[in-house]
Amino acid sequence: MHLTDIWFLLIAVLWTGYLVLEGFDFGVGMLLQAVAKDPVDRQVTLRTIGPVWDGNEVWLLVAGGATFAAFPFWYASLFSGFYLALLVILVALIVRGIALEYRNKLHDPQKHAAWHRRWDLAIVISSAVPALLWGVALANIVRGVPLDAEHNFTGNFFTLLNPYALLGGLTTLALFALHGAIFIALKTHGPVRDRARALVLPLAGLAVPLAAAFLLWTQTYDGSWITWVLAVLAAGSLITGVAASRMGRDGLGFLGTAATIVFASATLFVTLYPNVLPSTTDPAFSLTTTNASSTHYTLTIMTWVAVVFTPIVLLYQSYTYWVFRRRLTRDDIPQRGTPARPAPAETA
């Protein structure tokens, strides 16, 4: 295996990790007003992702940085061609981060409720927008975009809004919402958990047919026996996760939806390889792992850096999830002027 292949695999792993971790973040944000009916419930819901959401976004930074360093021509064509869509995603992520931090900064009782309503709505919208557009972007990468002989994007924003890409966006939107609902059920007790569990079946009714249609359509581009196996594993994981959640096995349900995202992402990247950005103008203009990569020397240095630092990052992020593993209840939210209830020692 060449270094270009290794780095294509590593970038696929980084994007998959981002989709799994940020996927339930987006789901929690989108479902905030559906599972939380009063300010205390909303605090419980947001605290499920409070310690981890910003750490999950680091996967996006690393994935983008690795793409820039390992495959600069892929990065250049991708970010120039998808400029407007990626700008919308970036704005949504900025608004989402501000909303999560600012919603608790006002302590004026007369303005408190209106302040919370505005920021909560911002969280819902800014979670749904990237959940939709990341699916659109990934679908376009697999399907291909119009590139000329110099690998310049010759389409426009509406070129990206083709039926296959829109189906991909709706798939990630529904799948992340389902992933988030099961995560809320895993991380809470009480009415928030009950409402989240009640949403699992309706969301599955959307996610399952959308995901099946999207993966079947993907097979028409460059399907192989490997991608068929991965697609079947994704479908099986999704059905297993939903069934486990309905039986009250929230941990197994969450693993099921996480595995679904992993297998679905693997299906897309295996379908894409050895291309990194196919050209619909002429296959000869496509960017591949060979013609889009950095020099061998650059990839060698990057590989040693990844070998040293990747395990460290995985260890401290795993430790973060372990420390904040306990389920949350309404009793964990302090009333004004009173301290929070001490956290018990038991695990989730």
pLDDT per residue over 59-86, tens digit each?
Answer: 999 999 999 999 999 999 998 899 999 9
**pLDDT score recorded for residue 104:** 80
313 burial class (0-12, 13-18, 19+ CB within 10 angstroms)?
middle
Pairwise CA distance, residues 348 & 341, whole Å: 17
Residue 334 has pLDDT above 80, yes or no: no
**pLDDT score recorded for residue 54:** 87
The third-level CATH classification (topology) of the domain covering 3-332 is: Formate dehydrogenase/DMSO reductase fold (1.20.1630)
Read off φ and ψ for residue 148, nearest 5 degrees: -90, -170
Q: Is the peptide bond before 274 cis (omega within 30 degrees of 0)?
A: yes
Average pLDDT over residues 134-144: 95
197 burial class (0-12, 13-18, 19+ CB within 10 angstroms)?
buried
Full-model pTM: 0.91
Domain ranges of the chain: 3-332
Q: Which residues of 22-61 are buried (b: 16+ CB within 10 A; e: fewer)?
A: bbbbbbbbbbbbbbbeeebbbbbbbebbeebbeebbebbe
Helices (H), the chain: 3-30, 32-35, 39-47, 53-70, 72-81, 83-102, 109-143, 163-187, 191-222, 225-246, 250-272, 296-323
